[in-house]
Amino acid sequence: MLTLYHCISARSFRVLWLLEELRLPYDLRVLAFPPRAHDKSFLELNPRGTVPLLIDGETRMTESAAICEYLALRHSPGVLNVGADEADFGAYLNYLHMSDATLTFPQTLVLRYSRFESAERLQPQVVDDYSKWFLSRLRTLEPHLATHEFLCADRFTAADVAVGYALMLAELLGLHAKFTPAVAAYWRRLRTREGFTRALLAQERAAVAQGVSTRPATEASPQR
């Protein structure tokens, strides 16, 4: 069985959401954020101390977008995965990797320098600059989403899950009020999906059962 190590509403939510879309059985291990500070034994499984960590037999993966690509290819060819023989294969891969490198990375700086650093190390200018950086890149999706329901291949794919998490993070950070109209409508569509709702419930139930706070990682007080 697949095992996913996860923190509430952290990047590992991408994987949890996709697992629910795929209806795959999995074992969900919820950790307090950041796990490298709260559970030193986790470093034996993942020396980086980050989530996600997906274990699939002998395979261990720690990059959320790569895990989405892996699961969709192995368990949903031609549906949540876009095949190499499809016209939108390149677009699919581009959106998958854009989700983290372009849309999530700047938000991690917003998060760190608005909430996670000590008072004397907070950096309002960094927060403002990288909020604008994120929103300017996000606006590049507007023309496509104004005429398409999903990102590629005229269907919901793992790319929508990956990009959808970046929009979820933006909402947690209060940046969603500046979404352009088509992006905002797209996010509303994504969050009504049954797989998304099941993932939210799964993380809450697992956290309660395992004695972990249900507060999102964005509201944690990390120890470095």
Task: Say if 2-78+195-219 and 89-193 have the same CATH topology.
Answer: no
Q: 161: Cβ–Cβ under 8 A, 6 or more apart, which residues? A: 14, 17, 18, 21, 68, 80
Average pLDDT, integer, range 124-151: 98
What is the tens place of the pLDDT at every residue in 167-221? Answer: 999 999 999 999 999 999 999 999 999 999 999 999 999 999 999 999 999 997 6
In CATH terms, the fold of domain 89-193 is Glutathione S-transferase Yfyf (Class Pi); Chain A, domain 2 (1.20.1050)
How high is the pLDDT of residue 155? Answer: 98
> 2-78+195-219: which CATH architecture?
3-Layer(aba) Sandwich (3.40)
What is the tens place of the pLDDT at every residue in 172-184? Answer: 999 999 999 999 9
How high is the pLDDT of residue 39? Answer: 84
| CA dist., res. 110 & res. 127, Å (int) | 5
Please state, rounded to an integer, the average pLDDT across all residues of the chain: 96
Which sequence spans correspond to the domains of the chain? 2-78+195-219, 89-193
7 compared with 220, residue with greater pLDDT? 7
**pLDDT surpassing 70 at residue 110:** yes
